[in-house]
Homo-oligomer: A and B are copies of this chain.
Amino acid sequence: MTASAAAPAVPALQDSAFLRACRREPVPHTPVWFMRQAGRSLPEYRKVRAGVPMLEACWRPDLVTEITLQPVRRHGVDAAILFSDIVVPLKAVGVDLDIVPGVGPVVAEPIRTAADLDRLRPLEPDDVAAIAEAVRMTVAELGPVPLIGFAGAPFTLASYLVEGGPSRNHEHTKALMYGDPVLWDALMRRLAGITAAFLRAQIEAGVSAVQLFDSWVGALPATDYVRQVQPHSAAVLSAVGELGVPRIHFGVVTGELLGHMGDAGAEVVGVDFRLPLDEALQRIGPDRAVQGNLDPAALFAPWEAVAERTRAVLAAGRAAPGHIFNLGHGVIPETDPGVLTRVVDLVHEESAR
């Protein structure tokens, strides 16, 4: 099956609950998907990943397709999200990095000087041909189920590059940001260009929406975010705006930043689990849909507690002009996948009433 063979499915796809919610249109039920739904919580994922390094898996269209489809088959979620990693576009432009199990992305030579910027060339479509192929294959398999493309936002990518890996305090990143704003700006511009090109490649290959993840942005006070980060996230979102797919923007620990993240230009703002959706809405304003925000740790409680909290998220989301149910952060690897399936069913049942 090719992407063009799937063309008859497009009307159903555009009419899906997920895309309707993104567009703030009435929905038959609240759509639901889970950040990191394709991943270690699923035994079928662990099986296909066995012996395959993470970055190798991201570049194999057959594996990407299979892994992306697994949670759709198992949970009946309303959207798939492309299996990939935040550092894929960096690897694609030749940055020497690897994903070390138990650690995360490790960059061989951190970027901290103007000369280091030369290692960040623009991303060309050919650099991510395998990812585009994976998108086409996955879209063909999904039929009327929307596929969400994704990319890490410039700040989060910058943190990995400047620190050389995951960081608790982001001290080298902040030292650069606060100490050399000109170099910081140049770095962020390059990353925004790479990120926009990566999202464009996914959209042109057929994803129905994109999510821009800014995992670490909650480490910043709002004033610094607005001055030194938001313009670059906005540039990414703006660069893909003409392509017409809904854009979701999410970060963790973003209570103070939500309004500004909404202003960056996405149609949907993802909300961290710390803030009820109705309060989040007051910060985001009425012109955006919201996505979230069940606490992924709450899934470890007995079912009745999970159900109560799921209902509370749905109730708070009713105030929104569009609500996509999700977790307030990614699925924790040790999560019982059976609980995720029950949450999908409960969201569908409760919201269809």
Contact = CB atoms under 8 A, between A and B. Distances in A.
A309 B223 CA distance: 12
Contacts of A178: 298, 301, 305, 309
A280 to B, nearest CB: 11
Contacts of A276: 221, 223
Contact of A174 (B256, B274, B297): B297
A89 B72 CA distance: 48
Given A220-B274, A221-B273, A223-B276, A298 B174 contact: yes
B255 A172 contact: no
A300 B178 CA distance: 9
A224 to B, nearest CB: 9
Nearest to A308: B178
A8 interface: no
A332 interface: yes
A145 B332 CA distance: 46
User: What's the number of copies of this chain in the assembled complex?
Assistant: 2
A302 to B, nearest CB: 4
Contact of A274 (B221, B297, B300): B221
Nearest to A176: B301
A349 interface: no
Interface string A330-346: 00101000000000000
A179 interface: yes
A111 to B, nearest CB: 16
B256 A300 contact: no
A114 interface: no
Interface string A155-194: 0000000000000011111110011100000000000000
- The size class of the interface chain A forms with chain B is 35 or more
A191 to B, nearest CB: 19
Interface string A221-233: 1110000000000
Contacts of A273: 221
A260 to B, nearest CB: 13
Contact of A175 (B173, B218, B220, B297): B297
Contacts of A265: none
A214 interface: no
Interface of A: 169-175, 178-180, 218-223, 253, 255-256, 273-276, 295-302, 305, 309, 329, 332, 334
19 contacts: A169-B297, A169-B329, A170-B297, A171-B297, A171-B332, A172-B300, A174-B298, A174-B300, A175-B301, A178-B298, A179-B305, A218-B274, A220-B274, A221-B273, A221-B276, A253-B253, A253-B274, A255-B255, A256-B275
> Closest 6 A-B residue pairs measured CB to CB?
A175-B300, A179-B301, A171-B297, A178-B301, A174-B297, A171-B300
